[in-house]
Structure 1
Amino acid sequence: MHVKSLAKDIEIDYLFKEQWPFTIHKHTHYEIQFIIKGKGLHYINDDQFVYHSGDVFITLPGESHFFVFSEKTAVRIIKFNEAFFLQNFQNKELELLKQGLFSSNRKIRLSDTCRKNIGELFSLLISSYKKVSVYQNLIIKNTLCLILTLLMDETKLNLTRPQDEKIHLILRYIQENIREKDQLSVKNISEHFSINKDYFTQYFRKATGSTYKKYVQQYVLNMIAYQWVHQDKTLSQLAYEFGFSDEGHLSRSFKAHFNKTPTALRKEAEK
């Protein structure tokens, strides 16, 4: 699996895309992902989370994750490493923060007040990150400290666990049967979960924010991209394994989803 490293103590990224541009990957650093606009699904390790505008996620060093965008999504990402903690928090404060960060919860459901405050702090952080000044580092570090502190304070009441209702079982079933197209037909999956066939697609979209067909297609292509980059498999093998008619069909689907050819993606991952 591709592992992304951080060159600085703190970095800030912004994405506004129709599709998540990366394959499943791990980091050597911490990330806070603030959903500015859009909806879809976020996979962290073996868990799936539905996201909407205003949601916040935290991922830790060594965790794998990727998004499936149901619509064009804007994400602001703050990245920071272990050195940031050691430089800015005392032992007791550090222990409290890490208790929250290392909980089993990755999505933080914000109150309206906290969402507004976090949004304003993100704006301050971004403007300070772009503007060089004598106090730039001090402003950035103190603002990030405040964001983390507010997030951890919010988690006391608003921790959100991965969905534990029927949709969670459906998503798990899709993962387990992703290579079996017949098992994933609307007819079969609706019967398996005792949901009316005509209602299933409506139920799935309401629960996840994505159409069933789009979700399965995107999940398949992310799985293929991961195996193509990290395993010694040919496109023909992957096309056969995941039910594509041939290598050309897979390549066209791949290009439409990632906006790059399989060869270009593999070369990019090798850099």
Structure 2
Amino acid sequence: MYIRNLTQQLEIDYVVKDIWPFLLHKHTHFEMLYIMRGRGQHMINGTTYNYEKGDLFILVPQDNHFFVFQERSAICIMKFHEGYFSDFLQDAKFKDLFTALSSPYRKVSAGCKNKQDIMQLMELIIREHRKESAHQQIIIKHALSLIITLTAKDAGEQLSTAKDDKIQSVLNYIHQHIADKHLLSVQKMADTFHISKSYFNQYFKNATGSAYKKYVQEYALKLIASQLVGRNKTLTQLAEEFGYSDESHLNRAFKAHFNLSPSAFKKQQMRRSIVYTG
């Protein structure tokens, strides 16, 4: 697994892409990831979270993560070391709040009482980062400290309802077994999660906004696209790994989804500049 390091105390980057440009990886620093637009799934430490505009994720050192975009997404990524807040950490209360970032919850709750305030602070950080001003660094640092304070207040709250917990388990199962198609049949899924087979497709569509078969196929193709570019695997290897009958079958499915052949897609991605350098 790739490990990304941070050489500065604070770094702010943006990803604006149709597909997440990085393989599953972990960091040696903290990250806040603010969803500026788009929707999809964010896999963190084996748990899947749906995301949409306005969501905020907080990652701590050694977390691993990966995105699957369902549509073009824009993400602001703030990376920092604990030392960035060394002066704030002299305050015992703030130190306790900072420690709370290591709670098992990585997504700010949709029902968080402070979410609107957090969103406004994130927008402030983005505006300040995009312009040069004498007080830019002070404003950004204090805004981040306020976000830490507000999120820590809700660290003990469950981030999803019981209903959401089931669909998260369903998504986690899909992602874990994406290369084992026999484990992803509607009958198998219905049996595994104790949902009527006749109701499963409707349940999945209501919970995710996507048809089940389409979701599974698109998720596999996005993983294939990522590995095609990031790991330089051949179509033959990927077809075998992801359960396609042969290379031509995968080629047709890939082209139908991305409107490009795998080779053209790879060339396009290699040409594009990567906004987020990690």
Q: Shorter-chain TM-score category?
A: 0.7 to 0.9
Q: Secondary structure at the match of 1:138?
A: helix
Output the amino acid matched with 1:85: F
Output the amino acid matched with 1:59: L
Output the amino acid matched with 1:103: S
| Partners of 2:110 and 2:193 in 1: CA distance | 32
Residues 83-92 or 124-133, more deviating: 83-92
Contact 1:23 1:222 in 2 (8 A): no
Output the amino acid matched with 1:242: F
Q: Secondary structure at the match of 2:76?
A: strand
Report what 1:109 is aligned to: 109
Q: Secondary structure at the match of 2:154?
A: helix
Q: Secondary structure at the match of 2:134?
A: coil
Contact 2:42 2:50 in 1 (8 A): yes
Distance 1:52 1:223, change over 3 A: closer
Report what 1:3 is aligned to: 3
| Partners of 1:121 and 1:40 in 2: CA distance | 23
Alignment of structure 1 residues 61-80 onto 2, 5 Å: 61-80=61-80
| Partners of 1:161 and 1:110 in 2: CA distance | 8
Output the amino acid matched with 2:117: N
Output the amino acid matched with 1:99: T
Runs of 5+ in structure 2 lacking a partner? none
Runs of 5+ in structure 1 lacking a partner? none
Alignment of structure 1 residues 143-158 onto 2, 5 Å: 143-156=143-156, 158=157
- Do structure 1's residue 129 and structure 2's residue 145 form an aligned pair? no
Report what 1:57 is aligned to: 57
**Percent same amino acid among aligned pairs?**
42
Output the amino acid matched with 1:160: L
Output the amino acid matched with 2:217: Q
Contact 1:40 1:208 in 2 (8 A): no
| Partners of 1:258 and 1:8 in 2: CA distance | 39
Distance 1:213 1:19, change over 3 A: farther
**Residues 51-108 of structure 1, C-alpha deviation per residue, up to 9 Å, x if partnerless?**
3333221111221111223344443322222321324421524531233111111112
Indicate the RMSD between aligned Cα atoms, in angstroms.
Answer: 3.5
Contact 2:19 2:222 in 1 (8 A): no
Deviation at 1:34, TM superposition (A): 2.2
| Partners of 1:264 and 1:62 in 2: CA distance | 31
**Residues 121-158 of structure 1, C-alpha deviation per residue, up to 9 Å, x if partnerless?**
122212221222222222221121112112212324x3
Count how many residue pairs are aligned between Structure 1 and Structure 2. Answer: 269
Residues 84-93 or 136-145, more deviating: 84-93
Report what 1:118 is aligned to: 118
Residues 142-151 or 231-240, more deviating: 231-240
Contact 2:101 2:148 in 1 (8 A): no
Deviation at 1:231, TM superposition (A): 6.9
Report what 1:43 is aligned to: 43
| Partners of 1:111 and 1:83 in 2: CA distance | 31
Contact 1:35 1:52 in 2 (8 A): yes
Distance 1:254 1:2, change over 3 A: farther
Alignment of structure 1 residues 65-104 onto 2, 5 Å: 65-90=65-90, 92-104=92-104
Report what 1:245 is aligned to: 245
Deviation at 1:47, TM superposition (A): 1.0
Report what 2:159 is aligned to: 160
Output the amino acid matched with 2:159: T
Contact 2:94 2:149 in 1 (8 A): no
| Partners of 1:39 and 1:242 in 2: CA distance | 24
Report what 2:12 is aligned to: 12
Output the amino acid matched with 1:136: Q
